[in-house]
């Protein structure tokens, strides 16, 4: 197999590890969660060391205190080195439950990044360490190339994702507040041979002051009441530099690029799942943007966690982020029924499942 294509397939599989993690925790499916970790997984999680998979899952299962949850995963940083990889994933977590008197328990938190070390075991990527050091520089697809036009097209998309990752990494390190975190939603991308345009929804989260760490995750994770939250609509202009894209300019966006995403002809069976992911991501992001324009008072729809839980079904997490208040009150999941052969998959029907206590989003 083309080495560049294998790298792209590995990136997708590594990202899917965190999608599977989120689905397992939110469904309370502890058997599925076992597939995410090797039995001897180690590392610190939520302020305390965890010795192995059983101990780690026992701790995570404490989420059953809440009636529902949504582990919304942001734009990941993925660095691959042979059969080992590092992944850093920012998150926005939503938890809802009820007190005995019927009042709602709300626990929404950001600033809880997942830092994973992974290994390929029997052709499956799994987490071996939970507190992997964050790479200082994201290599991404730098140095990779292909003469195959479809693989080259996929590499360009990956290079654009890497550019957004580097932008996020730099902005988060600005030191303008105690903690600054940019959460990027699914991008809408158009590009030619040398230039690209990207529009996306994003959330800027800034903490108002320092916090004291404690062993209890609920004690040290800041809630939304302690954070300044700004929904954003961003437009990026990028230019190719060798095999990578670099951001030349960014500003507030009013409309996404109008060109529809069209892959090159000649998509092979190995390439088709990656092409389908991009096409579906693009369509859903455009539909969400249109829905935001139709309902500007409702804030923005931030999209993440695109995952195929079973053949023919695509699930996407969505947060309705308002100008003020919690991002968790409008959380829902978009479920798409898919039809068509691999490489030509399309959406047949869509439903929305609200997370907790409100009407479903109509789109």
Q: Which DSSP string do the residues of 237-260 spell out, in sequence order?
A: EEEEETTEEEEEEEEE-SS---SP
pTM of the model: 0.90
The distance from CA 84 to its chain's CA centroid, rounded to whole angstroms, is: 20
What are the pLDDT digits (tens) for 123-177? Answer: 899 999 998 887 677 788 999 999 999 999 999 999 999 999 888 877 765 544 4
Report the percentage of the chain scoring pLDDT > 70.
Answer: 88
Do the domain assignments include residue 159? yes
Q: What is the pLDDT of residue 161?
A: 94
Overall residue count recorded for the chain in this entry: 363
Residue scoring higher pLDDT (117 or 105): 117
Between strands 180-184 and 104-109, the pairing is: unpaired
Cα 145 to Cα 5: distance, rounded to the nearest angstrom: 9
Do the domain assignments include residue 24? yes
Please name the residue ranges forming H helices in the chain: 3-27, 30-34, 53-60, 149-172, 217-220, 272-294
Number of domains in the chain: 1
Do the domain assignments include residue 360? no
Bridge partners, residue 104, by sequence: 98
Do the domain assignments include residue 359? no
Do the domain assignments include residue 59? yes
What are the pLDDT digits (tens) for 296-348? Answer: 887 899 999 999 888 899 999 999 988 776 777 889 999 999 999 888 899 99
Please, is 147 exposed, middle or buried when counting C-beta atoms within 10 Å of its C-beta (0-12, 13-18, 19+)?
exposed
Do the domain assignments include residue 363? no
Q: What is the pLDDT of residue 176?
A: 44
Give the range of the structural domain holding residue 133, as residue numbers without chain letter. 3-354
What are the pLDDT digits (tens) for 210-238? Answer: 544 444 444 434 454 566 788 899 999 99
Do the domain assignments include residue 287? yes
What are the pLDDT digits (tens) for 242-273? Answer: 888 999 999 998 888 888 889 999 999 999 99
What are the pLDDT digits (tens) for 18-34? Answer: 999 999 999 999 999 99
Domain of residue 325, CATH code: 3.10.450.50
Element spanning 95, H or E: strand 91-98
Do the domain assignments include residue 134? yes
């Amino acid at each position: 197999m083309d080495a560049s294509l294998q790298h792209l397939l590995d990136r997708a599989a590594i990202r899917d590890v965190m999608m599977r993690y989120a689905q397992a925790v939110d469904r309370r499916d502890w058997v599925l969660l076992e597939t995410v970790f090797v039995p001897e997984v180690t590392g610190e999680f939520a302020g305390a060391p965890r010795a192995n998979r059983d101990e780690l899952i026992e701790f995570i299962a404490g989420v059953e205190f809440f009636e529902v949850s949504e582990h919304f995963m942001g734009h990941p940083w993925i660095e691959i080195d042979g059969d080992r990889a590092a992944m850093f994933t920012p998150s926005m977590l939503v938890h809802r439950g009820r007190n005995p008197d019927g009042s709602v328990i709300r626990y929404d938190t950001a600033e809880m990044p997942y830092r994973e070390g992974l290994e390929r075991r029997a052709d499956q990527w799994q987490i071996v360490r939970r507190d992997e050091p964050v790479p200082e520089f994201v290599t991404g697809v730098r140095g990779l190339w292909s003469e195959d036009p479809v693989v080259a097209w996929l590499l360009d998309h990956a290079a654009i994702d890497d550019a957004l990752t580097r932008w996020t990494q730099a902005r988060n390190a600005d030191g303008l507040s105690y903690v600054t975190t940019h959460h990027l939603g699914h991008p809408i991308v158009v590009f030619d041979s040398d230039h690209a345009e990207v529009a996306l929804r994003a959330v800027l989260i800034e903490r108002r002051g320092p916090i004291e760490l404690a062993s209890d995750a609920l004690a040290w994770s800041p809630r939304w009441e302690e954070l300044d939250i700004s929904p954003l609509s961003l437009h990026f202009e990028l230019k190719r530099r060798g095999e990578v894209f670099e951001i030349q300019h960014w500003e507030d966006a009013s409309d996404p690029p109008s060109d529809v995403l069209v892959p090159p002809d000649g998509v092979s069976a190995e390439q088709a799942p990656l092409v389908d992911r991009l096409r579906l991501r693009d369509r859903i992001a455009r539909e969400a943007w249109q829905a935001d324009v139709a309902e500007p008072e409702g804030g923005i729809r931030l999209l993440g966690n695109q995952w195929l839980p079973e053949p023919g079904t695509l699930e996407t997490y969505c947060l309705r982020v308002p100008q003020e208040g919690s991002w968790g009150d409008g959380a829902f999941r978009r479920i798409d029924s898919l039809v068509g052969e691999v490489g030509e998959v399309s959406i047949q029907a869509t439903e929305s499942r609200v997370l907790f206590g409100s009407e479903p989003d109509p789109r």
